[in-house]
Amino acid sequence: MTHSVTLIRGDGIGPEVAKATQTAIDATGVRIDWTVVDAGVDVMETYGTPLPDHVLEAIRSTKTAIKGPITTPVGSGFRSVNVAIRKELDLYANLRPAKSIEGVKSAFKNVDLVIVRENTEDLYAGIEFQTGTPEAEQALEYLANLSKKKIVPHSAIGVKPISDMGSRRIVKFAFDYAQANGRKKVTAVHKANIMKFTDGLFLEVAKDVAKGYPNIEFDDRIVDNMCMQLMQKPELYDVLVLPNLYGDIVSDLCAGMIGGLGVAPGGNFGTDIAVFEAIHGSAPKYAGQNKVNPTALILSGVMMLRHLEEIEAADRLQKAVEEVIYEGTSVTYDLAKSGVSPVGTQEMAEAIAKKLS
Ligand code: NAD
């Protein structure tokens, strides 16, 4: 069977890690019909936008995409392309596994966590009012009257919408993932002791959804305590499900626990579309140098192969990545041990591909 996949090359280091990922995925022998498109700062001049319509159309048509990182232009009036793709396609679930790889330097060993982050709601909904603007003043007056609470004059205001629908579908996603992947436990992470109505709703919904999965253990943790517990006894946790903001922070924390951004993969899921991407950004200072680590996007490719139900190929690719890192002779600068010369992005991908031939 041939799978149709959109490859969005991104900008900065995006095209390099995208090419390396294509090399590694193609080496598995899985037949992929790639639609290669560009988005990001490099296409703004040509299309007048960093996210041309044909990119979204390509993703809608293939339903599966893998994407290099994209710079968020500062002060240009364009919002983040990454956030825009998630919003336009309603990719409500962000899945970020954090699994230790032998040979990657880290203070932690045997980490095996899965972070499920809500992608569309919470303080990231983009409802914010700048200090001193008429909108902010109006919102302040309205909210002070409504809540009967004092708000410091001229405050900036952000809104944190959390819905039953949004919470239900993300918690359900976490339990379905746990069930499909032989995971034992789901932990809902929140701050419901302080944010009783927003995080409180998230927690209540999580408890309700959990009742439908009697074979999977469920518990919950307050986010600050969760961070401490992850530092002290990560082995007690399995799948974590979090609202958007905490999910963003805790997933980077967990990426740090497995050795950093260079090895941390991810995927965004909607009801019938999935877009896979590394957690890291476009690292502009390294662009065009064939220097950065392609592992994070290649492992996002492993997640993609699993999504396409190419399980055996996914397992082989993951093993090939792990072997190349363990051997340590064909790895990029961030993984190279002292005394070993690092190789470039594409050379590391080719070493991985060679393991598959
Ligand atoms: P970044 O992740 O791009 O880079 C931070 C540092 O991490 C780099 O300087 C480098 O030292 C290291 N690093 C990142 N990726 C690496 C890799 N593959 N191999 C080795 N080292 C790596 O973060 P930033 O500098 O905060 O962001 C740069 C741009 O990327 C910003 O415009 C940001 O908005 C954007 N961004 C995009 C995405 C995305 O496309 N999903 C995600 C995060 C940030």
* 35-78 residue pLDDT tens: 999 998 889 889 988 999 999 999 999 999 999 999 987 766 66
pLDDT of residue 356: 96
- Structure confidence by residue, pLDDT tens digits, 11-23: 999 999 999 999 9
pLDDT at site 209: 98
Candidates 3.40.50, 3.20.20, 1.10.287, 1.10.3470; CATH matching 107-121+162-257: 3.40.50
Residue listed under structure tokens 């419901």? 192
Q: How far is CA 281 from CA 55, 80, 292, 293, 337, in A?
A: 19, 12, 11, 12, 24
Report the separation in Å between the CA atom of 282 and the middle of ligand 1, taken as the mean of its atom positions.
Answer: 5
pLDDT of residue 287 exceeding 90, the answer is yes
Domain range summary for the chain, segments of one domain joined by +: 1-92+262-357, 107-121+162-257, 125-161
- Tell me the fold of 1-92+262-357: Isopropylmalate Dehydrogenase (3.40.718)
164 Cβ neighbours under 8 A, 6+ residues apart: 201, 205
Q: Is the CB of 81 under 6 A from ligand 1?
A: no
**Helix, strand, or coil (residue 267):** strand
Q: What integer is the mean pLDDT of 324-342?
A: 95
Give residue 357's pLDDT band: very low, low, confident or very high (50, 70, 90).
Answer: confident
- Say if pTM beats, i.e. exceeds, 0.75: yes
The protein residue with its alpha carbon nearest to ligand 1, atom 26, reads 281
Count of Cβ atoms closer than 10 Å to residue 33 Cβ: 9
Indicate the average pLDDT of the chain.
Answer: 95
Answer yes or no: 248 catalytic: yes
Is 191 annotated as catalytic? yes
d(CA 126, CA 245): 12
Task: Give the pLDDT mean for 181-208.
Answer: 97
Q: Is residue 125 very low, low, confident or very high in pLDDT (cuts 50, 70, 90)?
A: confident
- For residue 330, name the pLDDT band (cuts at 50, 70, 90): very high
Query: Could you check whether 1-92+262-357 and 107-121+162-257 share the same CATH topology?
Result: no
- Please, are residues 38 and 96 in contact by the beta-carbon 8 Å criterion? no
| pLDDT tens sequence across 84-93 | 899 899 999 9
Distances (CA, A) of 343 to 252, 288, 324, 340, 357: 26, 15, 12, 9, 20
